[in-house]
Structure 1
Amino acid sequence: MSPAGPFTLVTVNTAPDRAKRLVGRVVEDVKERYTIIHAANAASIEEVKRTVEEARPNVLFTASMWTPEEAQQIIAIAKEVIPDLKTFSLPQGLQVEKGPDAVVEYIKEHLPSILD
C-alpha cells in the first residue's frame, strides 16, 4: 500500500529551524503511511496570510508557543485563504514543558485524525 498524500504542510512557529527539525522527524517516522511536504513556515501571525497564499498547503500546524486565542486567530487567517484547510494546534507550552520528543509523539498520535 502506498502512503497517503502528498500533504503540503505549513507550520506557524517563531523558531523556524526548530519547526523544520521537528517536522522532519515526524515526516521520517510516518513516511510509510503519509507523504508530507513541509512547504513553509510563518514565523509570525503577520506572515500567515502570505505564507498560506504562496505555499497553498492542505495542512497547517500551529506550534506550542501560541496561546489558544492566537492559534484560533492563525487558523482563521489561514482558512480565509483556504477554507477547507486541515489544521492542528499543539497545546500551549508542550515544547517548553516536555521537550521536542513529546512534540513529535503528540503530532504522530494525532496525525490519523487530521489526515485520514
Structure 2
Amino acid sequence: MAAQQTEYRLLTVNTVPERAKRLIGRVIADVQDRYAIVHVGNVERIEDVKDAVERERPDVLFTASMWTPEQAKEIVNIAQGVLPNLKTFSVPQGLQANEGPDAVVAYIKENLPHLLDS
C-alpha cells in the first residue's frame, strides 16, 4: 500500500477560470500518483487575492501566464503577506499564448517536484 500523501490546497490566479480549472485538472490527473492536489479555487483579479488566500488558506498558489512578471510578483507578495510560508509558482508570461496549453501543463509538471518537495 502506498504511503499517505500530503494533500496540497492549490489556489490559482487566472483571468480565465475555465482555463485554469481545465489545465490544473490535467496536471492533477497526471501527478496523482505522487501528489494529492485539490484545486480550491481561482482568483480573477489581483485585488481579490488577499481575501481568497484568507478564505481558502491554500498551501500553493499559481499565477497564470497572462500576468506580467511585475503583476505576478505583486500577487505573490499579497498572498505571502497573508500566509508567509505559502509555496508559489508563476507560469512565465506568454507561455499559454505562445506555446499553448500543453506547454503550460508540461512546464508546471516539470517544476512541481522542486516546488512541493522543497
Partner residue in 2 for 1:83: 84
1:44-91 CA-to-partner distances (Å, cap 9, x unmatched) read 101100110110001000000000000000000000110000000000
CA separation in 1, counterparts of 2:101 and 2:4?
Answer: 25
Counterpart for residue 29 of structure 1: 30
* CA distance in 2 between partners of 1:14 and 1:24 (Å): 17
> Is structure 2 residue 47 aligned with structure 1 residue 46?
yes
Letter in 2 for 1:54: R
Count of residue pairs the alignment pairs up: 116
Cα deviation digits, residues 4-41 of structure 1 (max 9, x gap): 32000000000001000000000000000000000010
Partner of 2:115: 114
CA distance 1:96–1:84, shift in 2 (3 Å): same
TM-score (norm 2): 0.96
Normalised to the residue count of structure 1, the TM-score between the two structures is 0.97
- What is the identity, as a one-letter code, of the residue corresponding to 2:103? A
Moved over 4 A (4+): none
**CA RMSD for the aligned pairs?**
0.8
**1:2: Cα distance to partner?**
3.2
1:61 maps onto 2:73 in alignment: no
The amino acid of 2:111's aligned partner reads H
Tell me, in whole angstroms, the C-alpha distance in 2 between the residues paired with 1:16 and 1:60: 14
Residue identity (%) = 60
- Asked if structure 2 preserves the Cα contact closer than 8 Å seen for 1:10 and 1:60, the reply is yes
1:62 maps to amino acid = T
